Amino acid sequence: MNAAKVLDAKGLACPMPIVKTKKAIGEIESGQVLEVHTTDKGAVKDLAAWTESTGHELLKHEDDNGVLKFWIKKG
């Protein structure tokens, strides 16, 4: 998947992964994809709920050896 931007939020605890995701998504254009890497397990539910409430689209997420990766399309 072609990401316009990759955000490395590994090692950061809640709420920082989402605080940084919000900032990073402000820096890309609508329709572009942001790739987020985090190690905070709480992010799975929180990012899904956040994208839904903000009108972005969570395209997919995967667990790559403990690093959680998310692809979010800006709404």
Partner 1 sequence: MKAMTAKEVTKKVINNEELFILDVRNETDFNDWKIEGRNFEYLNVPYFDLLDGVEPILDKIPADKELLVVCAKEGSSVMVAEMLEEAGRDASYLTGGMKSWSEYLEPVKVGDLKDGGEMYQFVRIGKGCLSYMVISNGEAAIVDATRMTDVFTDFAAEKNAEIKHVFDTHLHADHISGGRKIAEKTGASYWLPPKDAEEVTFEYNRLEDGNEVMIGSTKISIQAIYSPGHTIGSTSFVVDDQYLLSGDILFIDSIGRPDLAGKAGDWAGDLRETLYKRYKDLSGELVVMPAHFMIIEELNEDGSVSEKLGTLFANNHGLNIEDEGEFRKLVSENLPPQPNAYQEIRETNMGKISPDEEKQREMEIGPNRCAVR
Interface with partner 1 in residues 48-67 (CB under 8 A): 49-50, 53
Residue 37 interacting with partner 1 (CB under 8 A): no
Half-sphere exposure of 52 (CA within 13 A, CB side): 6
Q: Which residues contact 11 (CB under 8 A, 6 or more apart)?
A: 39
CB 43 within 8 A of CB 74: no
Residue 36 interacting with partner 1 (CB under 8 A): no
Binding site for partner 1 (CB under 8 A): 13-16, 18-19, 22, 41-42, 45-46, 49-50, 53
Q: Looking at the annotation, which residues are catalytic?
A: 14
